[in-house]
């Protein structure tokens, strides 16, 4: 039994070349975006603004600024909790931004179901 596929569907050479070009373009766009995202810097405040964390797109903490009035030698635990919250919030912000930006390129592609893709 022979099945006739609609025009543009199937494994024809021009269709395959077009798909390869699209895949290559997407890969180039993603590489450029990754470079841009890695170079970005983010600033997150926690504890009502008493702690500020600066982090880059590679999830490397650049600095932590602590307001002097939050430093209580008798309550280091609160300061520690605020620092952990600030760093975790900064990491979440970077990851969310990276995912949003990558989704703009990949769209609704389900790349996880294709061999060799993510």
Q: What is the pLDDT of residues 74-114, one digit of tens each?
A: 999 999 999 999 999 999 999 999 999 989 888 856 555 55
Structural domain contains residue 92: yes
- Please report, for the domain that includes residue 48, its CATH number: 3.30.1310.10
Structural domain contains residue 62: yes
Residue 97: both structure tokens together: 């931004």
Name the pTM for this structure: 0.69
Structural domain contains residue 41: yes
Structural domain contains residue 113: no
Structural domain contains residue 4: no
What are the distances in angstroms from CA 73 to CA 22, 103, 115? Answer: 59, 45, 55
Condensed to tens digits (0 to 9), the pLDDT of residues 5-24 reads 555 555 556 788 888 888 88
């Amino acid at each position: 039994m022979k099945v006739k596929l609609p025009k543009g569907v199937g494994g024809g050479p021009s269709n395959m070349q077009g798909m390869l070009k699209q895949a290559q373009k997407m890969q180039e766009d993603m590489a450029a975006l990754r470079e841009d995202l890695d170079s970005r810097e983010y600033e997150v405040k926690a504890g009502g603004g008493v702690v500020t964390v600066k982090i880059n797109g590679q999830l490397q903490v650049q600095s932590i600024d602590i307001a002097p009035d939050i430093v209580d030698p008798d309550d280091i635990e609160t300061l520690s909790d605020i620092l952990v919250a600030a760093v975790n919030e900064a990491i979440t912000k970077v990851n969310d931004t990276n995912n949003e930006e990558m989704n703009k390129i990949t769209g609704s592609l389900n790349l996880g179901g294709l061999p060799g893709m993510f």
